[in-house]
Amino acid sequence: MGKRDVFYDFLKSKFGDRSDEILAKFDILFSQLVEINSQINLFSRQTNLDDLWTLHFLDSLLILDTQAKLDKKIICDIGTGGGLPGIPLAIVYPQSQVFMLDSKKKKLSAIEKICKNAGLSNCKTIHTRVEDARQNYEGYFDVITSRALKILPEFVLPMRKMMRQGAKIYLYKSEILDDCALFEDKKLYDVSRENVGKRTIVEII
């Protein structure tokens, strides 16, 4: 079974009849990422392209194996890099608004192009550092995600200030969880899978 088929089986288990429609969007995302990555480094160029389906797309959606409520929410993906998990979440939750925050303007410009070509009208980008984001987005988000960013102590207060009452943070982690000690109220979900490897999602209240 190919990696795209593994991903499709995951979609069918989560979204049923919507799976074909969703997969079509991911086909566009795949082609866009491959094309743009030759110009701007959005993911490692050593990556086997077939692995995009599992190591990036499936991995981005493993938050669905937690109790996270993501539909019709305002989501901020901090340190989004190549738009992961932000773009995949925007694809599967079209009624949610997904903001992707990063300090690198070139990557955000690439993300904007990808979202436009994929017909994703629920995506926006924020060009700023985490420490400065609270200035314009205090109390704004229902959900904050972060997949590839090491959380530094100076990030904690700004992240909390960006959250609405009752909002949650979801950190995507492998085996190193040291930065999670910065947060007190948390719950760990083991969402490891054969085609992804060890993966823990840390939910912070």
Return the CATH number at 125.
3.40.50.150
- Predicted local confidence at residue 48, as pLDDT: 81
2-31 average pLDDT score: 97
**Sign of the dihedral defined by the CA atoms of residues 118, 123, 124, 127, in that order:** negative
User: Model-level pTM?
Assistant: 0.95
Per the structure, how many domains does the chain have?
1
Burial per residue of 37-61, b for 16 or more beta-carbon CB atoms within 10 angstroms, e otherwise? beeeebbeeeeeeebbbbbbbbbbb
Phi/psi region, residue 124 (left: phi>0; alpha: psi -120 to 50; beta: rest), is: beta
User: 148 falls in which pLDDT band (50, 70, 90)?
Assistant: confident
pLDDT digits (tens, 9 = 90+) for 23-69: 999 999 999 999 988 888 787 777 788 999 999 999 999 999 999 99
Host domain of residue 21? 3-204
CA distance linking residue 140 with residue 122, whole number of Å: 16
CA distance linking residue 121 with residue 50, whole number of Å: 27
pLDDT digits (tens, 9 = 90+) for 83-135: 999 999 999 999 999 999 999 999 999 999 999 999 999 999 999 999 999 88
14-21 average pLDDT score: 97
DSSP single-letter state for residue 88: H
CB 136 within 8 A of CB 158: no
